[in-house]
Structure 1
Amino acid sequence: MHPQFDYIFELFTLLIGLAVAEMLMGFSRILKLRARRKAGVDPTAINVRVGWLVPLLGLLVLADLGTFWSIVWTMRGVLDMRTAMIFGVLVLIGGYYLVATLVFPDEPELWPDFDAYFWQQKRWVVGGMFLINVATSAAGLALGAAVSPDEAQAAAIAANPLFLASTLMIFLNYPAFIWLTFSMGKRVCIALMLFILATQVLYAVSAWSIPGLA
Protein backbone atom coordinates (compact mmCIF):
# COMPACT_ATOMS: atom_id res chain seq x y z
CA MET A 1 0.00 0.00 0.00
CA HIS A 2 1.29 3.45 -0.90
CA PRO A 3 1.93 5.47 2.30
CA GLN A 4 -0.22 8.34 0.99
CA PHE A 5 -3.11 6.09 -0.03
CA ASP A 6 -5.01 6.63 3.25
CA TYR A 7 -5.29 10.35 2.57
CA ILE A 8 -6.58 10.05 -0.98
CA PHE A 9 -8.85 7.13 0.03
CA GLU A 10 -10.56 9.40 2.57
CA LEU A 11 -11.46 11.77 -0.27
CA PHE A 12 -12.60 8.83 -2.37
CA THR A 13 -14.73 7.44 0.48
CA LEU A 14 -16.41 10.79 1.08
CA LEU A 15 -17.40 11.24 -2.55
CA ILE A 16 -18.46 7.64 -3.13
CA GLY A 17 -20.47 7.78 0.10
CA LEU A 18 -22.43 10.74 -1.28
CA ALA A 19 -23.20 8.75 -4.43
CA VAL A 20 -24.38 5.74 -2.41
CA ALA A 21 -26.50 8.01 -0.20
CA GLU A 22 -28.11 9.50 -3.32
CA MET A 23 -29.04 6.03 -4.53
CA LEU A 24 -30.49 4.98 -1.18
CA MET A 25 -32.52 8.19 -1.02
CA GLY A 26 -33.96 7.32 -4.42
CA PHE A 27 -35.08 3.90 -3.20
CA SER A 28 -36.47 5.55 -0.07
CA ARG A 29 -38.58 7.93 -2.17
CA ILE A 30 -39.99 4.99 -4.13
CA LEU A 31 -40.91 3.08 -0.95
CA LYS A 32 -42.60 6.15 0.52
CA LEU A 33 -44.43 6.75 -2.74
CA ARG A 34 -45.77 3.19 -2.76
CA ALA A 35 -46.78 3.49 0.89
CA ARG A 36 -48.76 6.68 0.16
CA ARG A 37 -50.35 5.03 -2.87
CA LYS A 38 -51.45 1.95 -0.90
CA ALA A 39 -52.80 4.11 1.91
CA GLY A 40 -54.61 6.36 -0.55
CA VAL A 41 -53.51 9.50 1.30
CA ASP A 42 -51.82 11.15 -1.69
CA PRO A 43 -53.81 11.52 -4.95
CA THR A 44 -50.62 12.24 -6.94
CA ALA A 45 -48.97 9.05 -5.64
CA ILE A 46 -51.97 6.96 -6.73
CA ASN A 47 -51.41 8.02 -10.35
CA VAL A 48 -47.68 7.17 -10.39
CA ARG A 49 -46.49 3.86 -11.86
CA VAL A 50 -42.98 2.87 -10.75
CA GLY A 51 -42.42 -0.30 -12.77
CA TRP A 52 -39.17 -2.28 -12.90
CA LEU A 53 -36.83 -0.27 -15.10
CA VAL A 54 -35.84 2.53 -12.72
CA PRO A 55 -35.41 0.30 -9.62
CA LEU A 56 -33.28 -2.15 -11.63
CA LEU A 57 -31.17 0.72 -12.91
CA GLY A 58 -30.69 1.87 -9.31
CA LEU A 59 -29.56 -1.62 -8.27
CA LEU A 60 -27.18 -1.69 -11.23
CA VAL A 61 -25.58 1.60 -10.23
CA LEU A 62 -25.23 0.44 -6.60
CA ALA A 63 -23.59 -2.82 -7.67
CA ASP A 64 -21.28 -1.01 -10.05
CA LEU A 65 -20.31 1.43 -7.31
CA GLY A 66 -19.27 -1.53 -5.16
CA THR A 67 -17.23 -2.99 -8.01
CA PHE A 68 -15.64 0.39 -8.67
CA TRP A 69 -14.73 0.69 -4.98
CA SER A 70 -12.98 -2.70 -5.09
CA ILE A 71 -11.07 -1.70 -8.24
CA VAL A 72 -9.78 1.44 -6.56
CA TRP A 73 -8.69 -0.69 -3.58
CA THR A 74 -6.56 -2.82 -5.92
CA MET A 75 -4.85 0.42 -7.01
CA ARG A 76 -3.81 1.29 -3.44
CA GLY A 77 -0.16 0.65 -4.22
CA VAL A 78 0.06 3.38 -6.87
CA LEU A 79 -2.32 6.11 -5.65
CA ASP A 80 -0.63 9.08 -4.01
CA MET A 81 -1.33 12.75 -3.30
CA ARG A 82 -0.11 14.20 -6.58
CA THR A 83 -2.36 16.97 -7.90
CA ALA A 84 -3.07 15.10 -11.12
CA MET A 85 -4.10 12.04 -9.09
CA ILE A 86 -6.49 14.08 -6.94
CA PHE A 87 -8.04 15.68 -10.02
CA GLY A 88 -8.45 12.24 -11.56
CA VAL A 89 -10.24 10.94 -8.47
CA LEU A 90 -12.49 14.01 -8.42
CA VAL A 91 -13.42 13.54 -12.08
CA LEU A 92 -14.18 9.82 -11.75
CA ILE A 93 -16.04 9.95 -8.44
CA GLY A 94 -17.71 13.23 -9.37
CA GLY A 95 -18.92 11.52 -12.53
CA TYR A 96 -20.32 8.65 -10.49
CA TYR A 97 -22.12 11.07 -8.18
CA LEU A 98 -23.63 12.84 -11.20
CA VAL A 99 -24.75 9.49 -12.61
CA ALA A 100 -26.30 8.57 -9.26
CA THR A 101 -28.33 11.79 -9.14
CA LEU A 102 -29.91 10.97 -12.52
CA VAL A 103 -31.26 7.50 -11.67
CA PHE A 104 -34.36 8.53 -9.69
CA PRO A 105 -36.56 11.58 -10.31
CA ASP A 106 -36.30 14.25 -7.60
CA GLU A 107 -40.06 14.83 -7.78
CA PRO A 108 -41.70 11.44 -8.46
CA GLU A 109 -45.18 12.92 -8.68
CA LEU A 110 -44.16 14.76 -11.87
CA TRP A 111 -43.58 11.41 -13.62
CA PRO A 112 -46.83 9.39 -13.85
CA ASP A 113 -44.84 6.54 -15.44
CA PHE A 114 -41.26 6.00 -14.25
CA ASP A 115 -40.54 4.10 -17.47
CA ALA A 116 -40.74 7.42 -19.34
CA TYR A 117 -38.14 8.85 -16.97
CA PHE A 118 -35.94 5.77 -17.52
CA TRP A 119 -35.89 6.30 -21.29
CA GLN A 120 -34.98 9.94 -20.78
CA GLN A 121 -31.99 9.21 -18.53
CA LYS A 122 -30.79 5.71 -19.47
CA ARG A 123 -28.14 6.74 -21.98
CA TRP A 124 -26.62 9.25 -19.59
CA VAL A 125 -26.58 6.84 -16.64
CA VAL A 126 -25.44 3.67 -18.41
CA GLY A 127 -23.13 5.48 -20.81
CA GLY A 128 -21.60 7.36 -17.88
CA MET A 129 -20.96 4.14 -15.97
CA PHE A 130 -19.37 2.56 -19.02
CA LEU A 131 -17.03 5.49 -19.62
CA ILE A 132 -16.04 5.64 -15.93
CA ASN A 133 -15.30 1.90 -15.88
CA VAL A 134 -13.19 2.16 -19.02
CA ALA A 135 -11.33 5.20 -17.66
CA THR A 136 -10.69 3.47 -14.34
CA SER A 137 -9.37 0.32 -15.99
CA ALA A 138 -7.17 2.39 -18.30
CA ALA A 139 -5.83 4.38 -15.35
CA GLY A 140 -5.00 1.18 -13.49
CA LEU A 141 -3.06 -0.16 -16.46
CA ALA A 142 -1.27 3.15 -17.01
CA LEU A 143 -0.25 3.35 -13.34
CA GLY A 144 0.87 -0.27 -13.25
CA ALA A 145 -1.69 -1.27 -10.64
CA ALA A 146 -2.12 -4.78 -12.03
CA VAL A 147 0.03 -7.31 -10.21
CA SER A 148 0.59 -11.01 -10.78
CA PRO A 149 -1.06 -13.28 -8.20
CA ASP A 150 1.19 -14.81 -5.56
CA GLU A 151 1.42 -18.56 -5.04
CA ALA A 152 -1.51 -18.69 -2.62
CA GLN A 153 -3.74 -16.69 -4.95
CA ALA A 154 -2.68 -18.67 -8.03
CA ALA A 155 -3.42 -21.97 -6.28
CA ALA A 156 -6.81 -20.73 -5.06
CA ILE A 157 -7.72 -19.45 -8.53
CA ALA A 158 -6.68 -22.70 -10.22
CA ALA A 159 -8.83 -24.66 -7.76
CA ASN A 160 -11.84 -22.42 -8.32
CA PRO A 161 -13.30 -22.90 -11.82
CA LEU A 162 -16.31 -20.78 -10.85
CA PHE A 163 -14.02 -17.79 -10.35
CA LEU A 164 -12.42 -18.30 -13.76
CA ALA A 165 -15.85 -18.49 -15.39
CA SER A 166 -17.13 -15.44 -13.52
CA THR A 167 -14.04 -13.46 -14.51
CA LEU A 168 -14.68 -14.21 -18.18
CA MET A 169 -18.32 -13.22 -17.75
CA ILE A 170 -17.29 -9.92 -16.14
CA PHE A 171 -15.56 -8.96 -19.39
CA LEU A 172 -18.89 -9.43 -21.16
CA ASN A 173 -20.20 -6.51 -19.09
CA TYR A 174 -18.49 -4.07 -21.45
CA PRO A 175 -20.48 -5.03 -24.56
CA ALA A 176 -23.56 -5.43 -22.34
CA PHE A 177 -23.18 -1.83 -21.14
CA ILE A 178 -22.89 -0.60 -24.73
CA TRP A 179 -25.93 -2.62 -25.80
CA LEU A 180 -27.90 -1.36 -22.81
CA THR A 181 -26.95 2.24 -23.56
CA PHE A 182 -28.53 2.20 -27.00
CA SER A 183 -31.25 -0.44 -26.69
CA MET A 184 -34.83 0.78 -26.92
CA GLY A 185 -36.47 -2.52 -26.00
CA LYS A 186 -37.88 -2.82 -22.49
CA ARG A 187 -37.36 -6.58 -22.19
CA VAL A 188 -33.86 -6.34 -23.63
CA CYS A 189 -32.92 -3.64 -21.10
CA ILE A 190 -34.29 -5.67 -18.20
CA ALA A 191 -32.42 -8.78 -19.39
CA LEU A 192 -29.15 -6.85 -19.81
CA MET A 193 -29.41 -5.22 -16.37
CA LEU A 194 -30.14 -8.59 -14.75
CA PHE A 195 -27.20 -10.13 -16.62
CA ILE A 196 -24.75 -7.46 -15.45
CA LEU A 197 -26.04 -7.70 -11.87
CA ALA A 198 -25.78 -11.52 -11.95
CA THR A 199 -22.20 -11.47 -13.25
CA GLN A 200 -21.08 -9.02 -10.57
CA VAL A 201 -22.75 -11.00 -7.79
CA LEU A 202 -21.28 -14.25 -9.15
CA TYR A 203 -17.81 -12.72 -9.28
CA ALA A 204 -18.11 -11.43 -5.70
CA VAL A 205 -19.25 -14.84 -4.43
CA SER A 206 -16.60 -16.81 -6.34
CA ALA A 207 -13.80 -14.44 -5.19
CA TRP A 208 -14.72 -14.81 -1.52
CA SER A 209 -12.31 -17.68 -0.85
CA ILE A 210 -9.37 -16.23 -2.79
CA PRO A 211 -6.77 -14.39 -0.66
CA GLY A 212 -6.49 -10.71 -1.50
CA LEU A 213 -9.70 -10.63 -3.52
CA ALA A 214 -12.40 -11.36 -0.94
Structure 2
Amino acid sequence: MDPQFDYIFELFTLLIGLAVAEMLLGFSRILKLRARRRAGIDPAAMRVKVGWLVPILGLLVLIDLATFWSIIWTMRGVLDMRMATIFGVLVLIGGYYLVATLVFPDEPEMWPDFDAYFWQQKRWVFGGMLAINLAINLTGMALGASPEGAPQISPATHPVFVTSVLMVYLNFPAFAWLIFTRRARVSLALMLFIIATQILYALSSWTIAGLV
Protein backbone atom coordinates (compact mmCIF):
# COMPACT_ATOMS: atom_id res chain seq x y z
CA MET A 1 0.00 0.00 0.00
CA ASP A 2 1.17 3.53 -0.81
CA PRO A 3 2.37 5.12 2.49
CA GLN A 4 0.63 8.34 1.48
CA PHE A 5 -2.68 6.49 1.28
CA ASP A 6 -2.32 5.52 4.95
CA TYR A 7 -2.88 9.13 6.00
CA ILE A 8 -5.92 9.55 3.75
CA PHE A 9 -7.35 6.23 4.85
CA GLU A 10 -6.99 7.13 8.53
CA LEU A 11 -9.09 10.25 7.90
CA PHE A 12 -11.59 8.18 5.95
CA THR A 13 -11.76 5.52 8.68
CA LEU A 14 -12.42 8.15 11.36
CA LEU A 15 -15.31 9.71 9.47
CA ILE A 16 -16.91 6.45 8.39
CA GLY A 17 -16.51 5.15 11.94
CA LEU A 18 -18.55 8.11 13.16
CA ALA A 19 -21.23 7.36 10.57
CA VAL A 20 -21.40 3.70 11.63
CA ALA A 21 -21.54 4.72 15.29
CA GLU A 22 -24.43 7.05 14.49
CA MET A 23 -26.37 4.20 12.89
CA LEU A 24 -25.72 1.82 15.80
CA LEU A 25 -26.76 4.54 18.24
CA GLY A 26 -30.05 4.84 16.37
CA PHE A 27 -30.72 1.12 16.69
CA SER A 28 -29.77 1.32 20.37
CA ARG A 29 -32.33 4.08 20.95
CA ILE A 30 -35.04 1.93 19.36
CA LEU A 31 -34.18 -1.09 21.50
CA LYS A 32 -34.17 1.01 24.66
CA LEU A 33 -37.45 2.58 23.63
CA ARG A 34 -39.02 -0.86 23.17
CA ALA A 35 -37.68 -1.94 26.58
CA ARG A 36 -39.24 1.06 28.32
CA ARG A 37 -42.51 0.49 26.50
CA ARG A 38 -42.69 -3.17 27.50
CA ALA A 39 -41.85 -2.33 31.10
CA GLY A 40 -44.54 0.37 31.12
CA ILE A 41 -42.25 2.86 32.84
CA ASP A 42 -42.30 5.58 30.17
CA PRO A 43 -45.70 6.97 29.11
CA ALA A 44 -44.10 8.76 26.13
CA ALA A 45 -42.55 5.51 24.88
CA MET A 46 -45.95 3.80 25.05
CA ARG A 47 -47.25 6.13 22.33
CA VAL A 48 -44.38 5.60 19.88
CA LYS A 49 -44.88 3.38 16.83
CA VAL A 50 -41.53 2.40 15.28
CA GLY A 51 -42.73 0.44 12.24
CA TRP A 52 -40.39 -0.97 9.59
CA LEU A 53 -39.39 1.92 7.35
CA VAL A 54 -36.81 3.58 9.60
CA PRO A 55 -35.12 0.34 10.85
CA ILE A 56 -34.84 -1.03 7.28
CA LEU A 57 -33.42 2.31 6.17
CA GLY A 58 -30.84 2.08 8.97
CA LEU A 59 -29.85 -1.42 7.84
CA LEU A 60 -29.57 -0.22 4.25
CA VAL A 61 -27.28 2.65 5.23
CA LEU A 62 -25.05 0.32 7.29
CA ILE A 63 -24.67 -2.13 4.40
CA ASP A 64 -24.08 0.66 1.91
CA LEU A 65 -21.39 2.11 4.18
CA ALA A 66 -19.57 -1.24 4.02
CA THR A 67 -19.82 -1.24 0.23
CA PHE A 68 -18.61 2.35 0.17
CA TRP A 69 -15.61 1.36 2.29
CA SER A 70 -14.70 -1.43 -0.15
CA ILE A 71 -14.81 0.96 -3.10
CA ILE A 72 -12.46 3.36 -1.33
CA TRP A 73 -10.13 0.43 -0.59
CA THR A 74 -9.91 -0.48 -4.29
CA MET A 75 -8.76 3.10 -4.96
CA ARG A 76 -5.71 2.81 -2.68
CA GLY A 77 -3.38 2.40 -5.65
CA VAL A 78 -4.52 5.54 -7.46
CA LEU A 79 -5.02 8.02 -4.61
CA ASP A 80 -2.15 10.15 -3.37
CA MET A 81 -1.71 12.78 -0.69
CA ARG A 82 -2.97 15.96 -2.35
CA MET A 83 -5.18 18.74 -1.14
CA ALA A 84 -7.80 17.88 -3.73
CA THR A 85 -7.85 14.27 -2.51
CA ILE A 86 -8.27 15.29 1.12
CA PHE A 87 -11.03 17.72 0.16
CA GLY A 88 -12.79 15.02 -1.87
CA VAL A 89 -12.62 12.55 1.03
CA LEU A 90 -14.03 15.15 3.42
CA VAL A 91 -16.90 16.01 1.07
CA LEU A 92 -17.86 12.40 0.32
CA ILE A 93 -17.42 10.85 3.75
CA GLY A 94 -18.54 13.97 5.57
CA GLY A 95 -21.63 13.96 3.38
CA TYR A 96 -22.28 10.34 4.24
CA TYR A 97 -21.95 11.09 7.95
CA LEU A 98 -24.50 13.88 7.53
CA VAL A 99 -26.84 11.44 5.77
CA ALA A 100 -26.38 8.92 8.60
CA THR A 101 -27.41 11.49 11.21
CA LEU A 102 -30.77 11.91 9.47
CA VAL A 103 -31.81 8.25 9.50
CA PHE A 104 -32.99 8.01 13.13
CA PRO A 105 -34.68 10.75 15.17
CA ASP A 106 -32.49 12.09 17.97
CA GLU A 107 -35.41 12.04 20.41
CA PRO A 108 -37.63 9.07 19.53
CA GLU A 109 -40.30 10.05 22.07
CA MET A 110 -41.03 13.20 20.05
CA TRP A 111 -42.11 11.12 17.05
CA PRO A 112 -45.23 9.05 17.86
CA ASP A 113 -44.98 7.49 14.38
CA PHE A 114 -41.49 6.82 12.96
CA ASP A 115 -43.03 6.47 9.50
CA ALA A 116 -43.86 10.17 9.58
CA TYR A 117 -40.20 10.91 10.33
CA PHE A 118 -39.17 8.66 7.42
CA TRP A 119 -41.33 10.57 4.94
CA GLN A 120 -39.85 13.88 6.08
CA GLN A 121 -36.22 12.79 5.78
CA LYS A 122 -36.18 10.25 2.98
CA ARG A 123 -35.48 12.65 0.11
CA TRP A 124 -32.40 13.97 1.89
CA VAL A 125 -31.18 10.48 2.82
CA PHE A 126 -31.77 8.75 -0.52
CA GLY A 127 -30.75 11.81 -2.52
CA GLY A 128 -27.51 12.04 -0.56
CA MET A 129 -26.79 8.32 -0.93
CA LEU A 130 -27.46 8.45 -4.68
CA ALA A 131 -25.22 11.48 -5.19
CA ILE A 132 -22.38 10.06 -3.07
CA ASN A 133 -22.52 6.60 -4.67
CA LEU A 134 -22.54 8.10 -8.16
CA ALA A 135 -19.61 10.36 -7.28
CA ILE A 136 -17.44 7.60 -5.81
CA ASN A 137 -18.17 5.14 -8.62
CA LEU A 138 -17.50 7.70 -11.34
CA THR A 139 -14.30 8.76 -9.58
CA GLY A 140 -13.12 5.16 -9.40
CA MET A 141 -13.86 4.63 -13.09
CA ALA A 142 -12.12 7.87 -14.05
CA LEU A 143 -9.01 6.93 -12.06
CA GLY A 144 -9.01 3.37 -13.34
CA ALA A 145 -9.19 1.91 -9.84
CA SER A 146 -9.39 -1.87 -9.51
CA PRO A 147 -8.40 -4.41 -6.86
CA GLU A 148 -4.73 -5.38 -7.02
CA GLY A 149 -4.28 -8.89 -8.36
CA ALA A 150 -7.92 -9.18 -9.38
CA PRO A 151 -8.48 -12.07 -11.82
CA GLN A 152 -10.07 -11.83 -15.25
CA ILE A 153 -13.78 -12.33 -14.73
CA SER A 154 -16.26 -13.40 -17.37
CA PRO A 155 -19.87 -14.63 -17.30
CA ALA A 156 -18.62 -18.09 -18.16
CA THR A 157 -16.22 -18.38 -15.22
CA HIS A 158 -18.19 -16.44 -12.60
CA PRO A 159 -21.85 -16.21 -13.69
CA VAL A 160 -23.27 -15.45 -10.23
CA PHE A 161 -20.74 -12.69 -9.59
CA VAL A 162 -21.34 -11.04 -12.97
CA THR A 163 -25.09 -11.21 -12.38
CA SER A 164 -24.65 -9.62 -8.95
CA VAL A 165 -22.61 -6.78 -10.45
CA LEU A 166 -25.33 -6.07 -13.01
CA MET A 167 -27.94 -6.10 -10.25
CA VAL A 168 -25.89 -3.67 -8.14
CA TYR A 169 -26.02 -1.15 -10.99
CA LEU A 170 -29.82 -1.28 -10.68
CA ASN A 171 -29.36 0.32 -7.26
CA PHE A 172 -28.96 3.73 -8.87
CA PRO A 173 -32.46 3.86 -10.41
CA ALA A 174 -33.78 2.25 -7.21
CA PHE A 175 -32.35 5.12 -5.14
CA ALA A 176 -33.86 7.63 -7.58
CA TRP A 177 -37.24 5.90 -7.30
CA LEU A 178 -37.02 5.98 -3.51
CA ILE A 179 -36.54 9.74 -3.56
CA PHE A 180 -39.93 10.32 -5.18
CA THR A 181 -42.18 7.42 -4.21
CA ARG A 182 -44.84 8.07 -1.58
CA ARG A 183 -45.87 4.45 -1.07
CA ALA A 184 -44.64 2.56 1.98
CA ARG A 185 -44.70 -0.86 0.33
CA VAL A 186 -42.75 0.39 -2.67
CA SER A 187 -40.17 2.00 -0.38
CA LEU A 188 -39.76 -1.21 1.63
CA ALA A 189 -39.47 -3.33 -1.52
CA LEU A 190 -36.85 -1.04 -3.07
CA MET A 191 -34.78 -0.85 0.13
CA LEU A 192 -34.87 -4.63 0.53
CA PHE A 193 -33.87 -5.01 -3.12
CA ILE A 194 -30.80 -2.81 -2.65
CA ILE A 195 -29.86 -4.69 0.52
CA ALA A 196 -30.26 -8.05 -1.24
CA THR A 197 -28.16 -7.01 -4.24
CA GLN A 198 -25.30 -5.81 -2.05
CA ILE A 199 -25.37 -8.97 0.06
CA LEU A 200 -25.42 -11.10 -3.10
CA TYR A 201 -22.42 -9.18 -4.43
CA ALA A 202 -20.52 -9.69 -1.19
CA LEU A 203 -21.28 -13.42 -1.09
CA SER A 204 -20.52 -14.03 -4.77
CA SER A 205 -17.16 -12.23 -4.53
CA TRP A 206 -16.16 -14.06 -1.33
CA THR A 207 -14.32 -16.90 -3.11
CA ILE A 208 -12.76 -14.75 -5.83
CA ALA A 209 -9.18 -13.91 -4.85
CA GLY A 210 -8.17 -10.28 -5.27
CA LEU A 211 -11.67 -8.85 -4.85
CA VAL A 212 -13.05 -6.98 -1.84
Query: Partner of 2:201 in structure 1?
Result: 203
Gaps of 5+ in 1: none
Letter in 1 for 2:11: L
Partner residue of 1:56? 56
Are the structure 2 counterparts of residues 180 and 50 from structure 1 closer, same or farther at C-alpha, using a change threshold of 3 Å? Answer: same
Q: Report the counterpart of residue 113 of structure 2 in structure 1.
A: 113
* 3-state SS of 1:41 partner: coil
- Letter of the structure 2 residue corresponding to residue 163 of structure 1: F
Q: Secondary structure at the match of 1:103?
A: coil
- 8 Å Cα contact 2:147/2:210 also seen in 1: no
Report the counterpart of residue 33 of structure 1 in structure 2: 33
SS in 1 for 2:81: coil
SS of residue paired to 1:154: coil
* Separation in 2, partners of 1:79, 1:30: 39
Is the 2:147–2:211 contact (alpha carbons within 8 Å) kept by the matching residues of 1?
no
Q: Which residue of 1 aligns with 2:126?
A: 126
Which structure 2 residues correspond to residues 18-97 of structure 1 after superposition, within 5 A? Answer: 18-97=18-97
Q: Helix, strand or coil: the match of 1:174?
A: helix
Are the equivalent residues in 2 in contact too, given 1:156–1:209 (CA < 8 A)?
A: no
Contact 2:130/2:175 (CA < 8 Å) preserved in 1?
yes
Q: Deviations over 1:54-78 (max 9, x none)?
A: 0000001001100000000000001
For structure 2, list consecutive stretches of 5 or more residues without a partner in the other structure: none
RMSD between superposed Cα atoms in Å: 1.6
Specify whether residues 132 and 155 from structure 1 end up closer, same or farther in structure 2 by C-alpha distance, changes over 3 A only.
closer
Structure 1 residue 148: deviation in Å?
A: 9.2
Query: Which of 175, 179, 192 is matched with 1:194 structurally?
Result: 192
The offset of 1:212, in angstroms, is 1.3
- 8 Å CA contact retained: 1:176, 1:192: yes
Q: Is the aligned partner of 1:169 residue 2:135?
A: no
Q: Distance in 2 between matches of 1:141 and 1:202?
A: 22
Question: Shift of residue 157 of structure 1?
Answer: 6.8
Contact 1:157–1:210, Cα closer than 8 Å, also in 2: no
The alpha carbon displacement at 1:132 in A equals 0.2
- Matches of 2:83 and 2:144 in 1, distance apart? 18
How far the C-alpha of 1:213 sits from its partner, in A, is 1.1
Residues 15 and 94, structure 2, Cα contact 8 Å, conserved in 1:
yes
Q: Give the Cα separation in 2 of the matches to 1:73 and 1:161.
A: 24
Aligned to 1:180: 178
Distance in 2 (alpha carbons) for counterparts of 1:158 and 1:73: 27
1:154 to 152, 155, 165: 152
Could you say which residue in structure 1 is the equivalent of 2:5?
5
Contact 1:207 1:213 in 2 (8 A): yes
- In the alignment, the residues of structure 1 paired with residue 34 and residue 155 of structure 2 have an alpha-carbon distance, to the nearest angstrom, of 45
CA deviations 1:152-172 (Å, max 9, x no partner) are: x22687432111111110011
* CA deviation map 1:126-146 (0-9, x unaligned): 110000001111211222224
- Cα pair 2:54 2:114 within 8 Å, conserved: yes
* Paired residues of 1:44 and 1:109 also in contact (CA < 8 A): yes
Q: Mean Cα displacement is larger for which, 154-163 or 124-133?
A: 154-163
Aligned residues: 212
Structure 1 residue 81, shift from structure 2 partner: 1.1
Identity %: 73
